[in-house]
């Protein structure tokens, strides 16, 4: 193989590697993943807060039910006294009756309160369940996106590794001076320092090559450059 064709392969492998590395760095999923993670964490917080709310309502209900049971016992005690006939005086009876009535009112109030708390608790549990479902779904989606991202990153990493191998193999068979010239030309002209002849034009700047230059390339002269862009030219093998 011609020297410049090997140089060209080396150059192309390096360019491809650079492109892949840039692609890895800018994988869109990376940004998407970060965003999704944020979203998931927000959902998790909402779920946690819903759970706390439900737990608090549960405790509240228990407190109220305990209170209702306590009041009921009180009322029963008074009623016992009232109906046992132990108490004689009309005034005492009246007082007992008043207490029973008072407690009954409180019981009615507590009963209503308990019903309302139960309703809130039901609503809270429903919302909690809904949130938990959303969270689960979002987490599943996230795992899917992350898996895709990891797979693509791994695939690109493998390609980069293969290119590195190729570059290091070619490296040894190209003179240092030639590589330096290629790189400095690439820096001046953009991307490539060595290009193939395409038909009768330069593969870099696309300008038609003079008959003289073409003849030199075809004649096998080692280093021929484009008169227009100064890039090194080679005739691609069949
Ligand atoms: Zn050119």
Same domain, 214 and 114: no
Give me the chain's average pLDDT, please.
94
98 within domain boundaries: yes
Same domain, 186 and 220: yes
Question: Could you tell me the pLDDT band of residue 165, with boundaries at 50, 70 and 90?
Answer: very high
- Give the residue-averaged pLDDT of 3-22: 96
Looking at 154, 187, 204, the residue that finishes a domain is 154
Tell me, yes or no, whether 132 and 194 share the same domain: no
Q: What integer pLDDT is reported at residue 106 of this predicted model?
A: 96
CA 217 to centroid of ligand 1, rounded, Å: 13
Q: Are both 197 and 150 inside the same structural domain? A: no
Neighbours of ion ligand 1 (CB under 5 A): 202, 204-205, 226, 228-229
We report the CATH number of the domain holding residue 136 as 1.10.287.1700
For residue 13, what pLDDT is reported? 98
**Domain membership flag for residue 6:** no
Q: Find the range with the poorest average confidence among 18-22, 25-29, 118-122, 187-191.
A: 25-29
- Residues with Cβ < 8 Å from 163, sequence gap 6 or more? 13, 14, 16, 17, 20
What is the number of structural domains in the chain? 2
Q: In terms of domains, do 143 and 91 share one?
A: yes
Would 20 be classed as within a structural domain? no
Q: For position 26, what pLDDT does the model report?
A: 87
Residue 53 lies in a domain: yes
Cα of 233 from ligand 1 centre, angstroms: 8
What are 91-150's pLDDT values in tens digits?
Answer: 888 999 999 999 999 999 999 999 999 999 999 999 999 999 999 999 999 999 889 889
Same domain for 217 and 148: no
**28, pLDDT greater than 90:** no
Average pLDDT over residues 220-233: 94
Judge if 50 and 112 occupy the same domain. yes
DSSP 52-95: HHHHHHHHHHHHHHHHHHHHHHHHHHHHHHHHHT----HHHHHH
Q: Kindly indicate the confidence band of residue 1, based on its pLDDT and cuts at 50, 70 and 90.
A: low
CA pair distance 24, 20, nearest whole angstrom: 6
Instruction: Answer yes or no: do 35 and 100 share one domain.
Output: yes
Ligand 1 centroid–CA 170 distance in Å is 24
Residues 109 and 58 both lie in one domain: yes
Domain-located, residue 3:
no
Does 212 map to a domain?
yes
Tokens matching residue 87: 């108490």
With 70 as the cut, is the pLDDT of residue 215 above it?
A: yes
Q: How far is the CA of 199 from the centre of ligand 1 (A)?
A: 13
Containing structural domain, residue 183: 176-234
pLDDT for 19:
96
Q: In this structure, are residues 158 and 205 in contact, taking their beta carbons and an 8 Å threshold?
A: no
45 and 133 inside one domain: yes
Domain end call among 124, 154, 184: 154
Same structural domain for residues 37 and 139? yes
| Pair type for strands 232-234 and 194-198 | parallel
**The whole model's pTM is what?**
0.67
Choosing from 122, 154, 186, the residue where a domain stops is 154
33-87 tens-digit pLDDT: 888 899 999 999 999 999 999 999 999 999 999 999 999 999 999 999 888 877 6
- Rounded to the nearest angstrom, the distance between the alpha carbon of 76 and the centre of ligand 1 is 108
Same domain, 42 and 110: yes
- Find the 215 Cα to ligand 1 centroid distance in Å: 16
Counting residues of the chain whose pLDDT is more than 70, the rounded percentage is 99
Domain membership of residue 166 (yes or no) is no
Average the pLDDT over 2-16 and give the result: 95
Residue 187 forms part of a structural domain: yes
């Amino acid at each position: 193989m011609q020297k410049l064709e090997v140089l060209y392969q080396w150059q192309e492998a390096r360019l491809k590697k650079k492109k892949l590395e840039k692609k890895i760095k800018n994988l869109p999923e990376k940004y998407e993943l970060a965003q999704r993670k944020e979203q998931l964490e927000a959902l998790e917080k909402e779920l946690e807060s819903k759970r706390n709310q439900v737990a608090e309502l549960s405790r509240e209900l228990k407190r109220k039910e305990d209170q209702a049971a306590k009041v009921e016992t009180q009322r029963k005690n008074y009623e016992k006294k009232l109906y046992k006939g132990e108490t004689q005086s009309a005034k005492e009876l009246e007082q007992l009756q008043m207490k029973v009535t008072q407690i009954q009112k409180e019981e009615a109030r507590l009963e209503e309160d308990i019903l309302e708390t139960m309703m809130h608790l039901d609503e809270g549990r429903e919302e909690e369940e809904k949130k938990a479902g959303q969270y689960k779904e979002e987490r599943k989606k996230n795992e899917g996106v992350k898996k895709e991202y990891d797979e693509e990153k791994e695939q690109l990493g493998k390609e980069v590794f293969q290119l590195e191998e190729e570059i290091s193999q070619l490296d040894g068979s190209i003179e240092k001076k030639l590589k330096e010239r290629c790189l400095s030309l690439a820096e001046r002209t953009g991307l490539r320092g060595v290009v193939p002849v395409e038909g009768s034009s330069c593969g870099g700047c696309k300008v038609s090559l003079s008959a003289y230059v073409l003849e030199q390339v075809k004649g096998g002269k080692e280093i021929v450059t484009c008169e227009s862009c100064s890039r090194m030219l080679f005739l691609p093998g069949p």
